[in-house]
Each structure stands twice: as C-alpha cells, then as structure tokens.
Amino acid sequence: MIIAVDGPTASGKGTIAKALAVHFGLPHLDTGLLYRAVGRQVQLDGGNPDDPHAALAACNFADSLLDDEILRSEEVGSLASRVSVHPDVRRALYERQRAFATQEGGAVLDGRDIGTVIAPEAGVKLFVTASVEERARRRWLEMTGRGIDVALAAIERDIAARDARDMGRADAPLKAAEDALVLDTTHFGRDAAIEAAIEAVLARVG
C-alpha cells in the first residue's frame, strides 16, 4: 500500500505522514527533505538557488547532509522552494523518490507532488492543508519554542510566497490529485488531525 500525503508547508502533513507510517507499519520518506538538502548544498557552494545549473549541480549532495538539523530551518525551507521550481532538479530527484514509493510492502511519502507525479497509482492520497494564518502561527510557535526570535508577520509573508512559488511553478505544481481526500487541519489539534487521517485511510482501503 502506497500512501501519498501532499500539502503546503506547515500544514501538518509531515506529522500526519509519520503517524500513518507508524500506525500501518510502513517506511516513511519526507521528500521535502531532499529539496531542502539541494537548497542547502547550493548555499554551501556559494551558488544562486534561482540558477538552474547551480541547483542541478547541488543534487549531488552527500547523504550525510540529510541528517543536518539546519535543513529544518525556515531559511533552508525557502531555498528548497526556490530550487524545486527547476525541472532538471525535479527529474534528478524523481527516481530516488519513485524507488522508495514502489518498494515491496508499500510506503508513506509526504511532499507536494506525491499523488500527482511521484506515485499517481497510490492507493490512498491525502491532501493536507490549513489557512496561511494558522500555518504561520504553528511555525511561529515552533520557532519561538526553540528560542528563535522571529516576527509572526514575517513567517506569514514567507509562507504565502512559498505557496505562490509551489502552486505557480510550471513543472509538478502543488495541487490536490483529483482522487485525493482533502484534510483541512486549520481547526484541528495534532491528535485530532492524526486520528482524522487514519480514519480517512481506513475508509479508503475498506
């Protein structure tokens, strides 16, 4: 069984995908982490994430980079959104994601184009979303909880800009697959969102 979990940044899709993987005993891949690694590698190389050649070269990042906590930062998240618009970058990372999705026994993948591009044959597709304001609030609470001084308004602007890039790119734009179950978590707490996702999967697989 392949479970595809898509959605915009800070919607809760990562938390939900991890919980689904544990509940159903499946391996999990946060595909956004791959794009964050590319964005971070461009930064380390002193390149421009808006340059398709620099972004493609950064796809050869070392696997050890995936364990670097800096990939979870807002700055690197923004870089990931910028490199992900390049078709060559998406093609370079496609096979890696595809191999994970089609492994024997199934898998859970979360990202922005899992149900539409990476695994369109997925048995279950969820599109997790929430309002920009709520997603910014969640990210602000997360960051301030880690002692990072950042303005809520700045996070909201960044999330809105990332949404625009992700939904507006020509190649594999962020959107719900036609057969995806849309889960709006705006008014859900963490546990309620996870419970709703598990129920949605069980309803789909019968």
The proportion of the chain whose per-residue pLDDT surpasses 70, expressed as a percent, equals 100
* Residue 108 pLDDT class (50, 70, 90 cuts): very high
Strand ranges across the sheet with 124-129: 28-30, 107-111, 2-6, 124-129, 181-184
The per-residue pLDDT of the chain, averaged, comes to 94
Q: What is the residue extent of each domain of the chain?
A: 2-205
Tell me, what's the pLDDT at 103? 96
CA atoms within 13 A on the CB side of 186: 8
- Residue-wise DSSP of 29-59: EETHHHHHHHHHHHHHHT--TT-HHHHHHGG
Fold of 2-205: Rossmann fold (3.40.50)
Q: What is the mean pLDDT of residues 23-35?
A: 95
Tell me, what's the pLDDT at 205? 87
The Cβ of residue 199 has, within 10 Å, a number of other Cβ atoms equal to 11
* Residue 4 pLDDT class (50, 70, 90 cuts): very high
pLDDT digits (tens, 9 = 90+) for 52-87: 999 999 999 998 999 999 998 889 989 999 999 999
